[in-house]
Amino acid sequence: MYQTKPMEKLEMIACPKCGNPMPLKRRELGYHVCVNCSTVSAKRGIPVMRGTGDHTWVDLEVMTQEQFERYEEMENKTKSEIRPNKQTKDNLQGPFTIVETDN
């Protein structure tokens, strides 16, 4: 009896887009480029309001997956900064001086 190896060696081919090695299996699954290339080429559309006054229309901003993630990160960060920390506020009692700090 013998054990099968945990990692079967994959046959590699060169990605036609960037030239980096990618598993042949990947092409058999219907992908023609490596993981890196297919992630980069994934596009996301964000509806954006454009124009002023009566001339407004919704445009679709097309960005890469990477840009989209950065955009979402920015959105989440903005929201969390705006949200007031209510619990702390409710716990405040008595007279005190609010000292403004730079951070």
Binding site for Zn ion (CB under 5 A): 15, 17-18, 33-34, 37
- Which is closer to Zn ion, CB of 16 or CB of 51? 16
Neighbours of 40 (CB within 10 A): 15
Q: What is the three-class DSSP state of 88?
A: helix
CB of 68 to Zn ion, least distance (A): 20
Name the residue among 39, 48, 44, 38 with its Cα closest to residue 16: 38
CB of 34 to Zn ion, least distance (A): 3
CB of 30 to Zn ion, least distance (A): 15
- Which is closer to Zn ion, CB of 13 or CB of 46? 13
- Which is closer to Zn ion, CB of 17 or CB of 44? 17
Name the residue among 42, 8, 9, 11 with its Cα closest to residue 26: 11
